[in-house]
Amino acid sequence: MQTFISDISGESYPGSEKISGKLVRNGILKEIVKVCPIFNGDSFLSVSELNQYRQQYIQNLLSREVGAITELEQTVLDNIQHNHILADEASEVKQERLSTAQRWADKIASFGGSWKFIISFGVFILVWIIINIYSVQEKGFDPYPFILLNLILSCIAALQAPVIMMSQNRQEEKDRERAKNDYMVNLKSELEVRMLHEKMDHLIITQQENLLEIQQIQAGMMREMIEKINNSKTIATN
């Protein structure tokens, strides 16, 4: 198998990983020159080494943009380095194992915030009032002003409020997790788009330099042809 020696580390790599320094973008090239000042367009490095310096370049770029790199930014950098897709991980928040109390809290909060609860509880109160009004002659079990009913309503409200708050607090945690995932996906997309723009700019500049070099070679060939023609005419005249 054909191999080559990296001009950065001096180690041997397969020929399939060989990359010319001319293909390295300026931003990444500056990171390489910091470590290996002799590296230039005529040097060669491997794909793994290029990925390492690309990671360093992105990290420095992110540090200049946001300051200190947090755990979220570091997760994005690791995913970029290993070519992982954050969207797959962020599409759904991981299902947490709920205790029995948490499941009951979710069910009670879901039922307490529905029209089914409002209608059924309204019917219950109406039936309660009607029974006690029509039973007033027989001294109903909760005559007007319905003290027992007020006590039941107060107890339900006192118990329902903390149960709903428990469910909402857990929902807020899920929302925060989704917001973190969205932030990481957007940050990764922004960094990759920026790198893509820089790569396109580098390719355009490289192509322009190659075209200019070709034009210079063609101009030289044209001058040589003109000189030969002129010499031939001079010899024929003489």
Cα–Cα–Cα angle for 67, 71, 72, rounded to 5 degrees: 85
Residues 65 and 107 in one domain: no
Q: How many CA atoms lie within 13 A of 104 on its CB side?
A: 7
Q: Is 81 inside any structural domain?
A: no
* Average confidence (pLDDT) over 188-216: 72
pLDDT for residue 93: 46
Q: Which domain holds residue 64?
A: 1-69
Q: Is 204 inside any structural domain?
A: no
Instruction: Quote the mean pLDDT of the chain.
Output: 77
Residue 70: pLDDT over 50: yes
Cα–Cα–Cα angle for 172, 104, 181, rounded to 5 degrees: 25
pLDDT in tens, 108-118: 888 877 888 88
- Select from 141, 159, 182 the last residue of a domain: 182
Nearest to 73 by CA among 185, 192, 184, 190: 184
Q: Is 87 inside any structural domain?
A: no
Residues 117 and 176 in one domain: yes
Please identify which residue in the block is written with the tokens 């397969």: 14
Residues 130 and 60 in one domain: no
Please identify which residue in the block is written with the tokens 């039973």: 135
Number of H helices, E strands in the chain: 7, 4
Which residue spans within the chain are E strands per DSSP?
3-5, 12-14, 19-20, 44-45
Q: Is 112 inside any structural domain?
A: yes
pLDDT in tens, 133-178: 776 556 667 777 888 889 988 998 888 888 888 888 877 877 888 8
Residues 50 and 122 in one domain: no
Q: Is 61 inside any structural domain?
A: yes
Q: Is 74 inside any structural domain?
A: no
Contact 177, 68 (CB under 8 A): no
Residues 6 or more apart in contact with residue 170 via CB below 8 angstroms = 102, 106
In angstroms, rounded to a whole number, what is the distance separating the alpha carbons of residues 128 and 135? 11
pLDDT for residue 119: 92
Cα–Cα–Cα angle for 176, 85, 200, rounded to 5 degrees: 115
pTM of the model: 0.47
- Report the number of distinct structural domains present in the chain: 2
